[in-house]
Amino acid sequence: MKTLKFIIPTLLFSLFIIGCSGDDDTPEVVNEEEIITSVIATLVGDTGTVTLSSRDLDGDGPNPPTIVVSGNLKTNTTYAGSVQFLNESETPAEDITEEVEEEAEEHQVFLIPGGGLDVTVTSENSDGNGNPLGTQFTLETTTVTNGTLNITLRHEPKKPNDGTLADAGGETDVTVTFDVTVEQ
């Protein structure tokens, strides 16, 4: 039993030493570097500018994205459009569009009208292989219509593809659906 009397304190003491030897610096905060919190599409037409924005500042936290459409589009107008992807969980916000454009071959933005929205969207920029990239685009309106416009960013899609998400495959980095109205 003498041995026991020796061993128990030794055991406890050793662990105490091991346990307390580390310094107690609090860990540093990690701000997600590559997360996209915000998608902002800007449509510039002769009759004015409309912005569609979706912001989800807590990323995959419980809060849903806040979706804002600044106004309605006008009929028979050609809008010069651009999509911007931002990480606003960092200060200053990081513009992820630049990364997407640098790696254009591995990305594609799809703009998909739905819910009866009668507009035509065309990609205006392309990657190094001449395939569409879609961060710059034109949107043409004709008649009075309303519906949805979905913006999807795919990572590593099949390129070239037939312009549908199903054919493109890859991974969804962003998908946001806006309610859009075209008025007189």
Partner 1 sequence: MKIYLSVALAVLACATSIAQNCELTLQGTVIDIHDGTPLAGATVVLAGSEAARVTDFDGNFKFTDLCEDLYNVQISHPECTTKAFAVQLQNDTDKTFKLEHHLEELNEILIKGSTYYTKAESVLENRISLETLEDYSSGSLGDALKTVSGVSSLNTGNTVVKPVINGLHSSRVTIINNGVRQQDQEWGAEHAPNIDLNTASSITVLKGAAALQFSGDAVGGVVVAEPAPVTLKDSLYGKTILSGQTNGKGGALTTTLTKSYENGWFARFQGTAKRYGDFEAPDYELSNTGLSEQDFSVNTGLNRITYGFDAYYSLFKNKIGILRASHLGGAQDQVAAIGSDRPLILRDFTYDIDTPRQEVTHHLGKVSAFYKSNSLGMFRLTYDVQQNNRLEFDVRRGDDDGKPSVDLELVTHNLSFSLESDVSDEISLKTGLVGNFQENFADPSTGVRRLIPDYKQYKFAVYGIADFQLSEKFIAEFGGRFDYTFMDVFKFYRTSFWESRGYDTQFPELIVEDFGNQLLTNPELEFNNASATVGFSYTFDEDYVLFSNYSLASRAPNASELFSEGLHHSASRIELGDLRFNSEISQKITVTAQKKGDRFSFAINPYATFVKDFIVIEPTGVQQTVRGNFQVWEYRQTNARLLGLDTDAMFNITDALAFNNQFSIVKGQDTSKEQALINMPPASITNGLQYQLPLKQQVNLGIESNYVFRQNEFPNNNFEVFLPETESFETVDISTPPAAYHLVNLNAGTTFNFSGIATVNLNVKVTNVLKTSYRDYLNRLRYYADNLGRNMLLQIKINY
Interface residues with partner 1 (CB under 8 A) are 3, 7-8, 11-12, 14-15, 18-19, 22, 26-30, 32-34, 36-39, 54, 56-65, 89, 96, 99-100, 102-103, 106, 112, 114-115, 148, 150, 152, 154-156, 164-166, 169, 171-177
Q: How far is the CB of 109 from partner 1 (least distance, A)?
A: 13
Q: Which residue has the tokens 């961060």?
A: 135
Q: Which is nearer to partner 1, 7 or 44 (CB)?
A: 7
Q: How far is the CB of 76 from partner 1 (least distance, A)?
A: 25
Q: Which is nearer to partner 1, 71 or 114 (CB)?
A: 114
Q: Which residue has the tokens 């309303």?
A: 146
Three-state DSSP string of 2-67: HHHHHHHHHHHHHHHHHHHHCCCCCCCCCCCCCCCCEEEEEEEECCEEEEEEEECCCCCCCCCCEE
Q: Which is nearer to partner 1, 12 or 44 (CB)?
A: 12
Q: Which residue has the tokens 């309610």?
A: 179
Q: Which is nearer to partner 1, 46 or 171 (CB)?
A: 171
Q: Which is nearer to partner 1, 131 or 150 (CB)?
A: 150
- Give how far Cα 107 sits from Cα of 3, 4, 11, 116, Å: 68, 67, 57, 27
Q: How far is the CB of 129 from partner 1 (least distance, A)?
A: 18
Q: How far is the CB of 8 from partner 1 (least distance, A)?
A: 6
Q: How far is the CB of 139 from partner 1 (least distance, A)?
A: 16
Strand partners, 110: 152
Tell me the three state secondary structure of residue 155: strand
Residue 170 and residue 152 in contact, taking contact as beta carbons nearer than 8 Å: no
